[in-house]
Amino acid sequence: MKFLFSARTLLPITGGSDKSILNLMVELKKKGHTIDAIIPGKENENVTYKGINLMKIKTPFFLRLLKSHIWVFFANNWWYKVLDKYVKNKKYDFLLTHLDTAPAIIFVAKKHGVKACLFLRSYKFLCPYETLPSNYKRKFLDLPFLYKLQYPFINLNMKKFSKSFNMADTIIANSDFIRKVFQEKTNKNIFVLYPTIDKKIIKVNSQQNKYILYVTPMKQKGLKLFLKICAHLKHEHFLVIGHTFMEWDNIIRMSKTNNVKYLGWEENIDKIYLKSRLLLNPVEWEEPFGRVPLEAMIFGIPSISYKKGGIPEAVGGAGDLIDSNSDFDTWIQTIKKYDDIDYYKTKSKECFKQFKKFGSKDGCEKFLKLIKNK
């Protein structure tokens, strides 16, 4: 089969969504399928990655100046025109997409009689604020001023997202939690395909490692709770990686902690896991799926997370799940449990068992079965 993937990003990898679709594309290529990709870029460029042909199209200057919902509106209009010309003389069997620019891709697919597959990795197609779906129109008075200015674009975007969602031939959610959320709002059939990781288990004695790891220091990822934990457990060493919207020096100064090391974005995350013994994942929102705990399992590193969203499906028994209404002391007590060698070893073994459920080859086979039924 011949596939074309298109979205806002792919390479360089900017997050879990890029990793998940890239792993699937690589496996499809290994099975002899043709895989092309086209994304916006800083310059026009052609790249080959593990047999995948990636074309980058230079983003217009005016789009680089726009942000948030205004960007989404104009980017979809521009990207539709780009893809319309590109797909016109190509014979693809499926167009694959997700996230911000998915409407443009799905509209082009339908225009040229190509089947479209939409991957659901967020609430974007039901709610513009990336939270559990609600009547977002009622939230207008509660919105920050800059969001109120964007409100006309928010409404226009939601119409496009809704229309394209209903036009997609195959819709695949990244967790059963997300499937249920969308299934309550639509009569479309939605399937589940868990994100896959193309890596082998690395058995090391992670308990002897120095650091407790925290990824992506942002408010919705539980930054406030994490810093409170650091201040309380002064004898522990904490390692932080990932993008943040604040200067890390300011964050540390405000929290009055000196046992935290921040490394920023890391391409080679394996070397980070090799230094870590435990993962803290205090995500405050209903995250669609927990990819970070899954990556940590490769190294036998258990995680402690809130029992919310799609995270329990990822974690299973490979860590501890804390009720969202639990107090701060529960987090401290749970962290201290991992000082016990036997408890740590039990959870570490569960990591390897849980990770085996998310193999890339199995995920690819399931994907092909799903789309062949269409």
Please check the confidence at residue 7 and state whether its pLDDT lies above 80. Answer: yes
Per residue in 153-203, pLDDT tens?
Answer: 988 999 999 999 999 999 999 999 999 999 988 889 999 999 878 777 787
pLDDT at 304: 98
pLDDT at 295: 93
Q: What are phi and psi of 349, to 5 degrees?
A: -65, -35
Average pLDDT over residues 44-57: 95
CA 104 to chain centre: 20
Q: Domain 206-358, what fold?
A: Rossmann fold (3.40.50)
> Is the pLDDT higher at 358 or at 226?
226
**Which is nearest to 57 in space by CA: 39, 34, 33?**
39
Please check the confidence at residue 49 and state whether its pLDDT lies above 70. Answer: yes
Q: Is the dihedral of CA 114, 21, 283, 142 positive or negative?
A: negative
Q: Do 2-196+360-372 and 206-358 share a fold?
A: yes
Please check the confidence at residue 288 and state whether its pLDDT lies above 90. Answer: yes
CATH H-level superfamily of 2-196+360-372: Glycogen Phosphorylase B; (3.40.50.2000)
Amino acid occupying residue 74: F
Per residue in 105-118, pLDDT tens?
Answer: 999 999 999 999 99
- Quote the CA–CA distance of 276 and 290 in Å, as a whole number: 18
What lies within 8 Å, CB to CB, of 343 at 6+ separation is: 337
Please check the confidence at residue 255 and state whether its pLDDT lies above 70. Answer: no
pLDDT at 144: 73
64 token code pair: 């680089």
- Domain residue spans in the chain? 2-196+360-372, 206-358
Please check the confidence at residue 138 and state whether its pLDDT lies above 60. Answer: no
In terms of C-beta density within 10 A (0-12 exposed, 13-18 middle, 19 or more buried), how is residue 347 classed?
buried
CB 214 within 8 Å of CB 239: yes
Instruction: Report the percent of the chain where pLDDT is more than 70.
Output: 93
Average pLDDT over residues 16-25: 93
> Is the pLDDT higher at 173 or at 64?
173
CA 178 to chain centre: 13
Q: For all residues of the chain together, what is the average pLDDT?
A: 91
> Is the pLDDT higher at 361 or at 314?
314
Which value, to the nearest 10 degrees, does the dihedral of the CA atoms of residues 216, 221, 225, 229 take?
A: -40
pLDDT confidence bin for 374, thresholds 50/70/90:
low
> Is the pLDDT higher at 204 or at 120?
120
Per residue in 324-343, pLDDT tens?
Answer: 878 899 999 999 999 999 99
pLDDT at 74: 97
Average pLDDT over residues 243-251: 69
Instruction: Report the percent of the chain where pLDDT is more than 90.
Output: 71
In terms of C-beta density within 10 A (0-12 exposed, 13-18 middle, 19 or more buried), how is residue 277 classed?
buried
Please check the confidence at residue 139 and state whether its pLDDT lies above 70. Answer: no
